[in-house]
Amino acid sequence: MEVWGFRDVALWISFLTGFTMASYSEDQCSWRGSGLSQAVKNVEQVWLRCAEGSVEWLYPAGALRLTLSPRLQWSAMGPGESSRSPVSACIKPDQHWGGAQLYLERDGVLELLVGDETSEPSGPAHVRCFSAMPGERPALFLQATPHQDISRRIAAFHYELRGDWTAQPSVNTDPISSEGVCRPCNNTEILMAVCTSDFVVRGNIRSVDTDSHLKAAVIKVSATRVFRQKFALFPESGRLTRSGEIRTALLCGVRPGAGSFLFTGRVHFGEAWLGCAPRYKDFLKVYEQAKQSLTIPCTLIND
């Protein structure tokens, strides 16, 4: 990891104060611009006001300072343990990233998130994640690297902010932290997952493959009932059938097995990641007991 010292940052911030300009994207979620219209010594200030979006910088020149300042309260981004729980921010660089370096700016130090293609010949390979406490406004510093030919260079990435993932205090390369990811959910967690997950699906495991790029297991699911889904994660694959893929950490050792499960989880950069996945008969038992005791946090559609 490359780290700039306080003196370097202080000098750079002093430089910024004389050469900055503010910019908002049209929807304040994403930004797209060109270095061709930007002075080489200019640093453009960009404010991103959403929990997810994208940045695309064509022909990078000069620098951008991107402040992540969503309109929603941090605690509204997911079912975190409390309003004082850290928020996870993840960056997914475009496969053809080039012409710039991306840093996380925090506490007077710049930490390298994504290097230029010249220093990473294979191109950006991983999602980068970091944590932020409620009230913080994480800033990303995007600096163009000098090249004689900038015509084919584009620095682009997607970002997500969520309050229900556990990120390491500093930069890591895991899409979702593996801490506790293989631990079975207790009854309370199962019921909350039904209420708060991006997808809730009843189905069977057809097969399990390996995504070596993400070091993840890919569970291929035949869905018999889709209670809820964010985006078209489980599209129709035939008459009255739906299928989709769910990822989880490879270290969990998921294997194909008989029986029906209730799959829940989160969408991460357009991909489904597994949360709680009890056998469906076990879920029904917990669900009915909670209904009878009036402790159920929510009900399924057409219950």
**What pLDDT score was predicted for residue 256?**
86
**What pLDDT score was predicted for residue 62?**
87
Q: Under CATH, what is the fold of the domain 187-293? A: OB fold (Dihydrolipoamide Acetyltransferase, E2P) (2.40.50)
Q: Domain-by-domain residue ranges, the chain?
A: 30-163, 187-293
User: Class for domain 30-163, per CATH?
Assistant: mainly beta
Model confidence over 9-23: pLDDT tens digits?
A: 443 444 443 344 444
Q: How far apart are CA 242 and CA 57, in angstroms?
A: 38
**What pLDDT score was predicted for residue 250?**
87
Model confidence over 162-215: pLDDT tens digits?
A: 765 544 444 555 545 555 678 889 999 999 999 989 999 999 999 999 987 777
The series of mean pLDDT values per 10 residues for the chain, 303 residues long, is 44 41 62 79 86 91 88 52 68 89 88 74 65 80 81 87 55 54 89 92 94 85 92 81 90 88 92 93 95 89 59
**What pLDDT score was predicted for residue 152?**
74
Q: What predicted TM-score, i.e. pTM, was given to this entire model?
A: 0.70
**What pLDDT score was predicted for residue 13?**
43
Parallel, antiparallel or unpaired: strands 100-106 and 139-144: antiparallel
Given the structure tokens 């967690």, which residue do they identify?
189
**What pLDDT score was predicted for residue 162?**
78
For residue 162, what are the contacts with CB-CB under 8 A and spacing of at least 6? 51, 77, 78, 87, 88, 90, 266
- Of 24, 77, 76, 78, nearest to 55 by C-alpha is 24
